[in-house]
Structure 1
Amino acid sequence: MKPTHFTLFILLIFVLSGCSKDDQTDSSPITSEIYFPPMNSNNWETISPSELGWNESELQPLLDYLEAKNTKSFMILYDGKIVVEDYFNGHSSSSLWYWASAGKTLTSTVAGIAQDEGLINIQSKVSDYLGEGWTSAPLEKENLITCKNLLSMDSGLDDSLGDGVSPENLQYLADAGTRWAYHNVYVKMQDVIAEASDLTWDSYFETKLASKIGMSTNGTWTNLGDLSVYFSNTRSMARFGLLIYANGKWEDDTIVSEEFLNEATNTSQSINEAYGYLWWLNGKSSFHLPQTQYEFNGSLIPNAPSDMFAALGKNDQKIYISPNEKLVVIRMGEAADGENFALSNFDNELWEYINAFIN
């Protein structure tokens, strides 16, 4: 019996499916799994730009640009392996530097851990944990504010009264959930977690996050007024970025649930599309910025991958994560240009140089 056209088609598919990767024309890099560096060790596997098919001639222009823009350190990870690690302007691999508001994402992540453990529920009102009177708002307005509002920056509290988070600095302006404003009140989540866990914030953070991914020996919280600011070396920042890139897992251990991170890295409220739970989100149709109620049209960082989300800190402290591109990118340093609170023109310019290198 002669084979039918359908049979011949099935045979062709079978033959093609048996071709080895070497027989195919797709030369894109393949990694079988995410790499995790050893705990408390300086050993960290690398992968060269040439292995990834990147444009090596564009690396030096990228590094020159970074140095000229007051950068202290810069790293690119591909699926966890180091592709680029450079230090500038007197900084070294052991130097500590502040994360500024990029460290907000540490608070978000630890909140997820506490919820996973059943210690808190971010849908609950803050006063369930801190008691009444933690703000100067009328009680019925204070009781509208949930932990999720703190993580989403839509507490409705007045953001024009300075950096303090004592009750006199936390005054009612709008109902929770109706107004987005970049506000230090998010640090009250640290108090919530401390109360719920019966530990200090530093201790819970150290036990549940830092010690689990090798950040312990190269990072510390420092009190600056009412705020606790995280300082670390660059690799500790990269370790945290890698944890988030790996959907909350470190090797075989789940540090924070993927379910929580999915919420944290997607739009968390209806006002600022480009904001999750203290994470900035690229690829949305509009965004808001600190210290303004104006809505800007377009993507947060047009040159960056649309799936990218980021931890952005004062004076250009950066963690960029793009799952589609398998990238974690770290930048620490002084302000690239003028002082800024999160986003700056530097973000888009930097991604122009990164794109020339990786494409």
Structure 2
Amino acid sequence: MKSTLLLLLTISLFSCSSDSDTANDNTNLPAEAMYFPPNGSDSWETKTAASLGWDESQIQPLLTYLEQKHTKSFIILVNGRIVMENYFNGHSATTPWYWASAGKTLTATVTGIAEQEGILDINDKVSDYLGTGWTSAPLAKENLITNRHLLTMTSGLNDALGDDVSPANLQYVADAGTRWAYHNVYVKLQDIVAEASNQTWTNYFNSRLRDKLGMTGTWFNSGEDLSVYASNTRSMARFGLMILNKGKWHNDQIINEAYVNQMTNTSQDTNKAYGYLWWLNGKASFRLPQSQLQFNGSIIPTGPNDMFMALGKNDQKIYVIPSKKMVVIRMGDAADGSNVALSDFDEVLWEKISAVIDL
């Protein structure tokens, strides 16, 4: 099975928890309140590994592994405070880097904000916003596809035709909701938000999310109409911290908690390890991009069961672990040659992290 998994994980794509009992296990957590760094400032509170009882002798092996695996930046937050922040291979705290498919989670979040504002409904048909003919599927089949299907990768459109999301390349395979398949058609949600808000996607994103969190970063077109985000590493950490805190930043509820819960839990019956463009650890089974095979067990067996993840090509990572009030960020080049969002790197990385933290 391992060899089959590795074969699947070499397929190229771009832009590409346990249950509540585990998530609510707050043993060994720091007692202090959640911290949020100020907007418009480089200041950020820190904690030492020693103060948290971590095994400091295992930190250097972790850092050595990260550097060997072409990492550019690595951050661990606990209760919002920086415990580890390291830069490698000429990267710095101010250098922007692309999120690849980890940025799908930004799209899912902003879609929820738009629904919260009452300008769209995720249960509406996509064609209610984009008009008919946005795919080449028969009209009756196209009209089955809702915004929720784009969020859950269950559009029923052909995932074997590459990243192009022009109508001619969006072809019917199965009725929406009956088949899980990782597909970049999710990017149409950005067009839906733009149409519903009567402004550009970038302007809406910046005003509703980026600026409120004090993030930096810009969207750029990677080709074939795929919109990819790039920012510095702390901006990625800010976003992960807001999601860890159930959509709240300081005293501002950016996105409602109910939607965050939906977004970070199983969203459909076919792939238990997938929410609204977030990957979920600790589930009984999972599926992977470009495959209809189902694998038993957790995606990252060495990682915490309640962890959920934003995963991008060449090992861009946001790991959120509610039971530890922890966010882990990794940016860089592919750990082992070009790969998709998930690889053996994740398993070994979490072995190294666990040696430090004793998860």
TM > 0.5: yes
Deviation at 1:171, TM superposition (A): 0.6
**2:4 corresponding residue in structure 1:** none
Deviation at 1:241, TM superposition (A): 0.3
Deviation at 1:32, TM superposition (A): 2.9
Is 2:60 the counterpart of 1:54?
A: no
Runs of 4+ with deviation above 3 angstroms: none
Partners of 2:198 and 2:116 in 1: CA distance: 16
Partners of 2:116 and 2:298 in 1: CA distance: 32
The equivalences for 1:268-287 within 5 A come to 268-287=267-286
SS in 2 for 1:172: coil
Higher relative contact order (CA 8 A, sep 6+): 2
Amino acid at match of 1:224: S
Change (3 A) 1:151 1:29: closer
1:222 aligned to which of 220, 223, 226? 220
Structure 1 unaligned spans of 5+: 1-26
SS in 1 for 2:324: coil
SS in 2 for 1:140: helix
SS in 2 for 1:270: coil
CA contact (8 A) 1:29 1:51 kept: no
**2:144 corresponding residue in structure 1:** 144
The equivalences for 1:315-330 within 5 A come to 315-330=314-329
Is 2:235 the counterpart of 1:197?
A: no
Instruction: Please list the CA deviations of residues 125-180 of structure 1 after superposition, one character each: whole Å capped at 9, or x if unmatched.
Output: 10011111000000000000000000000100001111111101101011101111
CA contact (8 A) 2:29 2:324 kept: no
Instruction: Please list the CA deviations of residues 185-238 of structure 1 after superposition, one character each: whole Å capped at 9, or x if unmatched.
Output: 0000000000000010000000000010001xx201011111110000000000
**1:7 corresponding residue in structure 2:** none
**2:153 corresponding residue in structure 1:** 153
SS in 2 for 1:33: coil
SS in 1 for 2:66: helix
Is 2:312 the counterpart of 1:313?
A: yes
Amino acid at match of 2:64: D
Instruction: Please list the CA deviations of residues 242-265 of structure 1 after superposition, one character each: whole Å capped at 9, or x if unmatched.
Output: 000010000100000100010000
Deviation at 1:85, TM superposition (A): 0.2
Amino acid at match of 1:222: F
Partners of 1:162 and 1:125 in 2: CA distance: 24
Amino acid at match of 1:302: P
**1:181 corresponding residue in structure 2:** 181
CA contact (8 A) 1:156 1:175 kept: yes
Amino acid at match of 1:194: A
CA contact (8 A) 2:309 2:318 kept: yes
**2:289 corresponding residue in structure 1:** 290
Partners of 2:59 and 2:53 in 1: CA distance: 13
CA contact (8 A) 1:29 1:53 kept: no
Partners of 1:329 and 1:139 in 2: CA distance: 44
**2:23 corresponding residue in structure 1:** none
SS in 2 for 1:31: coil
SS in 1 for 2:353: helix
Partners of 1:30 and 1:139 in 2: CA distance: 55
Partners of 2:41 and 2:67 in 1: CA distance: 27
Partners of 2:166 and 2:40 in 1: CA distance: 37
The equivalences for 1:1-359 within 5 A come to 28=28, 30-215=30-215, 218-225=216-223, 226-359=225-358
Q: CA RMSD in A?
A: 0.9
Partners of 2:236 and 2:75 in 1: CA distance: 10
Partners of 1:236 and 1:261 in 2: CA distance: 19
CA contact (8 A) 2:76 2:326 kept: yes
Change (3 A) 1:134 1:48: same
SS in 1 for 2:86: strand
Larger Rg: 1
CA contact (8 A) 1:44 1:81 kept: yes
Structure 2 unaligned spans of 5+: 1-26
Partners of 1:29 and 1:74 in 2: CA distance: 21
Partners of 1:177 and 1:323 in 2: CA distance: 29
CA contact (8 A) 2:30 2:79 kept: no
Overall identity of the aligned pairs, in % = 66
Change (3 A) 1:285 1:29: closer
Paired positions, count:
331
Partners of 1:168 and 1:30 in 2: CA distance: 53
**2:17 corresponding residue in structure 1:** none
Deviation at 1:338, TM superposition (A): 3.0
Amino acid at match of 2:166: S
The farther-off stretch of 160-169 and 275-284 is: 160-169
Structure 1-normalised TM-score? 0.91
